[in-house]
A and B are shown apart, each in its own frame.
Chain A
Amino acid sequence: MSSVPASTVVRRGSTVSLLLLVVFIAMWEWGFQFLGVPSFIVPPASAVIKEGIRMWQVNHLLLHTGVTAGEVVAGFIIGSLLGAAIGYLLGMSATAEFALSPYILALQIAPKVAFAPLFILWMGFTVYPKILVAVLIVFFPVLVNVLTAIRSIDFDLVNLARSFKATRAQIFWNIEFPSSMPQLFAGLRIGATLAVVGVTVGELVGGNLGLGYLLVIGQGQADTPMVFVSILMLTLIGGIAYLGVVLLEGRVLHYARGRNRPPGQQA
């Protein structure tokens, strides 16, 4: 254990992080040129920024980013609601879990992105197949985390509620649901990043909207800066989605903030 106070860690860490960013961008801009890597393989940072501005004006970059972001949000919300709901239901019934676990496992093993062509065959070149891939890919980590949380609840807590004559619903809302929050949020964090993967694959497979579509265009025209811009925007969407989950988690799990304090020591 280091004895450096937390505020010092944050200050020093931020400085180092910023420095690394500067070094990274400098390497990107001049490093590859210096090593003789042609700019159609790795375009320098300035070329990518220029391309971004051009795409904004000519290729409706904002529209495509907006469509992808919308699909990510829709897929993430629907997928996590479904995953959480089914996780809680299975958590309530050991029989249901036992009966359904082989199918859940099979679906979990199946690579979800492989369903993208199928969904496009079913639903055409609309936003729906992309959302559906995201739903499917977000569903499992959320479901598995919720199920694990419900399975690992301290049964003495349930007995405590039972001793006060709690109903099944009271036990769920007062003990099981709040107990599962840390693990639910761990699942949501994974889901937020996976939703971007699902949507991108869906867009790569078919359609004429979204950043995945721009990736396909960029590849077809051998326009490396365009591919780079699309990747950057996708990363940005994933980052914002992840940050959203982290902020929400901070609000919901506020009571756990002091948990690193040694036990017995008062605030």
Chain B
Amino acid sequence: MYRLEYRHVTMDFPASKGAGTVAAIADVNFSIADGEVVSLIGPSGCGKSTLLNIGSGLYPPTKGQTFVDGERVEGPSAHVAFMLQKDLLLPWRTIRENVMFGVQIQRHSRAECRRRADSLLTNFHLDEFANRYPNELSGGMRQRVALARTLAVDPTVLLLDEPFSAIDAQTRIVLQRDLALTLKRAGKTALLITHDLLEAVTLADRVLVMSRRPGRIIDEIKIEIPDREDPIKRRRHPSVEAYVQRLMNRLGIGHDA
């Protein structure tokens, strides 16, 4: 059984000028197996984020269906959690309360919320900041809290939309390693949207390439490098360069004059 599946998903938006519609994505088909991590790359504005919004059940597609754990997505699901480039921490909640946010919304008991939050805060080395407020933390730490909040609801599928693109390069490498390790240990399935080709290769089992608008999947590349839980080790693997080069070719980077 697939954890996440897109079947003939098409999304049209009303055109900004005049009548008619603009196709954001057209007939997208792919599926992600249990425990698999898949990167999605493509040119800006090709509908990657739209795909993620559809998968999380926030917006219904114009045509086609998405499935999570074999069930058709007809609205937000407790099995799916998303994380964006923006950390979306609530400034009036402490770090612990922010991690508890999703669990509280899902009406778990206060003790259970706290237990989950505290164990995640320990995992992410954030214990000492539990009672601080988001504005006291650096960008990298805030994004770590956002990841903890995403994991706190114990989703089977994580949808990650450029989660580290606003983070400085050194912190990003550490966060990528933390994410990879967490996904591997917990056996989570993930769809990772990214602009960073190296990130796409080092974090994933498979990379999907999308075309310009209207976005469709134009290529699928299996990453045959071991140690998916350790992207820092993977970075040093000799075949990484060839994968990145292939993705660049596929996206037409360096060819368009």
Contacts and interface: CB of A to CB of B under 8 A. Distances in A.
Interface in A161-185: 161-166, 170, 174-175, 178, 181
The secondary-structure label for the interface of chain B is loop
Given A160-B82, A164-B76, A165-B105, 5 more contacts: A154-B86, A165-B76, A256-B135, A263-B139, A264-B138
Nearest to A160: B88
B81 interface: yes
Contacts of B88: 154, 156-157, 160
B84 interface: yes
A45 to B, nearest CB: 46
B133 interface: yes
Interface in A224-264: 255-256, 258-259, 261, 263-264
Contacts of B86: 154, 156
Interface string B82-110: 10101010111000000001101110000
A46 interface: no
A266 interface: yes
The secondary-structure label for the interface of chain A is helix
A264 B170 CA distance: 14
Nearest to A259: B135
B152 to A, nearest CB: 10
Nearest to B56: A163
Contacts of A9: none
Contacts of B138: 263-266
A175 B90 contact: yes
Given A163-B81, A264-B139, A267-B136, A255 B91 contact: yes
Nearest to B104: A174
A159 interface: yes
B58 interface: yes
A88 B80 CA distance: 30
A258 B133 CA distance: 9
Contacts of A266: 136-138
